[in-house]
A and B are shown apart, each in its own frame.
Chain A
Amino acid sequence: MIRLEHVHKSFGRLPVLRGVSLEVRKGEVVCIIGPSGAGKSTLLRCINHLEGIDSGTIYIEDVPVYRFTREGKSVIDSDHRIEALRSQVGMVFQSFNLFPHFTALENVMVAPIHVRREPKEEVRRRALALMAKVGLAEKVGAYPHELSGGQQQRVAIARALAMQPKAMLFDEVTSALDPELIGEVLRVMRQLAAEGMTMIVVTHEMGFAQDVCDRVIFMADGMIVEEGAPHQIFSAPRNERTRQFLQSILERNAEMGDNPDGSLASPAR
């Protein structure tokens, strides 16, 4: 579904991604964990071309996209094609980024109506169903500033789903939320995963990664250090860096009294 081959990316002279190769199959839920500055968010942003890559190739459904080499020639996709590709991959951000001048429902409706030019009534029906799905049927007429962070993030998920994407990218979507609001967002994501959506999730929620993901990727210094099934990564990490990272998370959680039994999963979520 989504494949990256030897992707390199620098910001100025600072290398952020150093040869990342990754394949995500249809219906797979992949979590990316790692310390800050590891390049996790940049990786996601490259997948829908919010950032251009310096070298390597990104494939969506086995077709090379954005900027690639074909028969020795460099090819750059047209703006129109890039826009079409982006509209097939939903993205949810840490800071929600809802459009403040639209109501919740209008936020969900705006892209299908204006980007896809779908009939308004049909979009409206779909948008209402999505708002109900994320548990906000009551809030369709509310403006973003009238919603809590958790509610805003659920609207943002509905907005991305309204484009009927083939895959969803989640960029630390619970990091800006108050602890008591994290659960409601993760619940929506769990449901989505259960329905078979292809998902790439950058997260610090180890419990979510352990329970929901099919595969966990540990990144550090712009590279994939280790990947494997959640139980393997969390109970028997092979790499020293992975071990250190998980240890530090464990200590932090213990300090906050999150899980007294010392396990990584927080069952409450």
Chain B
Amino acid sequence: MRGIFTLFNFEGAKEYLPDLLRGALISVELTVSVMALSLVLGLVVALARTTRIRAIRTVSTVYIEVIRGTPALLQLFYIYFVLPAFGIKLEPFTAGVIGLTVNYAAYLSEVYRAGIQAVAKGQLEAAQALGMSRTLMMRLIILPQAIRIIVPPLGNYFISLFKDTALASIITVRELVFTGQIIAATNFQYFAIFTIIGALYLAISYPGSLGVQYLERRMKIGYRPRRVAPVGGPTRGAPQGAV
């Protein structure tokens, strides 16, 4: 009898809720760090795959295939438990950031690549015909258009990354799930603790997915009209500020 009541007991929550919130904060920090880094690394890998230098292309292709073909959990183990054997000892949080970044960059690079390839071929030809170099074309013409295409899928990866940060609990990063496990191991209120954890994840990721839906709708609309620039006035305010 008593066991059942213990199961639904949320009374202790007052004591451990601050700990859980601290864990949630770590989860968010992990998400933001990994997303920021893998956005950059993913772009580098995507550009490496489109370069004319074959060796660079091969390296980036192998990287993507290895990462996508092995479990993220294993990649985290590798960085946290195997690298020390080579003299590289990392803090759990750092190892988590590196492991998840290496993982997500591989996926994001494919998103970038799809976006780059989705830019109409006529755009490349027009840029070439004007004498633009490959670099200039990429920077001024292709990437600004590709970004509009890839913002919605990137948003979805952002949300799924937030949930995937729970993987870092396995290498003792004190994020939300790890914190919950520690508390539950002392008071056995599994139901209450894991329900609160689920609610916290949902409370953060649901607004996130609403945001992505909003972005999706916005990106579909054509380029926003802008007031006609006064003759002789400045030409600022281009969406990408490139000109």
Residues of chain B lying within 8 A (CB to CB) of residue A80: 133
Q: How far is the CA of A236 from the CA of B243 in the complex (A)?
A: 52
A71 CB to nearest B CB, Å: 28
Segment of B3-11, B207-215, B220-228 engaged in the interface with chain A: B220-228
Residues of chain A lying within 8 A (CB to CB) of residue B242: 101-102, 110
Q: Which positions 111-129 of chain B face chain A at CB distance < 8 Å?
A: 120, 122-123, 125-129
Mark A139-166 against chain B: 1 for CB-CB distance below 8 A, else 0: 1111111100000000010011001000
The CB with the most chain A CB atoms within 10 A, among B131, B224, B242, is that of B131
The answer to whether A114 and B145 touch across the interface, beta carbons within 8 angstroms, is no
The answer to whether A143 and B128 touch across the interface, beta carbons within 8 angstroms, is no
Asked whether any CB of chain A lies closer than 8 Å to the CB of B203, the reply is no
Q: How far is the CA of A235 from the CA of B134 in the complex (A)?
A: 47
Q: How far is the CA of A163 from the CA of B133 in the complex (A)?
A: 15
Residues of chain B lying within 8 A (CB to CB) of residue A87: 130-131
The answer to whether B131 and A111 touch across the interface, beta carbons within 8 angstroms, is yes
The answer to whether A93 and B130 touch across the interface, beta carbons within 8 angstroms, is no
Per the CB 8 Å criterion, the residue count for chain A at the interface is 45
Asked whether any CB of chain B lies closer than 8 Å to the CB of A258, the reply is no
The answer to whether B130 and A115 touch across the interface, beta carbons within 8 angstroms, is yes
Mark B116-155 against chain A: 1 for CB-CB distance below 8 A, else 0: 0000101101111111111010001100110010000000
Q: How far is the CA of A48 from the CA of B226 in the complex (A)?
A: 34
Asked whether any CB of chain B lies closer than 8 Å to the CB of A59, the reply is no
The answer to whether A163 and B131 touch across the interface, beta carbons within 8 angstroms, is yes
The answer to whether B228 and A106 touch across the interface, beta carbons within 8 angstroms, is no
Q: How far is the CA of A268 from the CA of B148 in the complex (A)?
A: 42
B residues sitting closer than 8 Å to A (CB atoms) are: 120, 122-123, 125-134, 136, 140-141, 144-145, 148, 222-229, 231, 235, 238-240, 242-243
Add 18 more A-B contacts to A110-B243, A115-B136 (CB < 8 A): A50-B125, A79-B133, A83-B132, A88-B131, A97-B123, A97-B126, A99-B123, A99-B126, A101-B148, A102-B243, A105-B229, A110-B130, A111-B131, A128-B231, A140-B229, A140-B231, A143-B223, A160-B130
A residues sitting closer than 8 Å to B (CB atoms) are: 48, 50, 79-80, 83-91, 93, 95, 97-103, 105-106, 109-111, 113-115, 124, 128, 138-146, 156, 159-160, 163
30 contacts between A and B (CB under 8 A): A79-B134, A80-B133, A83-B131, A86-B128, A86-B129, A93-B129, A95-B122, A97-B120, A97-B123, A99-B126, A100-B145, A101-B145, A101-B223, A102-B242, A102-B243, A105-B229, A106-B238, A106-B243, A109-B243, A110-B243, A111-B130, A111-B132, A114-B132, A115-B132, A141-B227, A141-B228, A141-B229, A143-B226, A146-B222, A159-B130
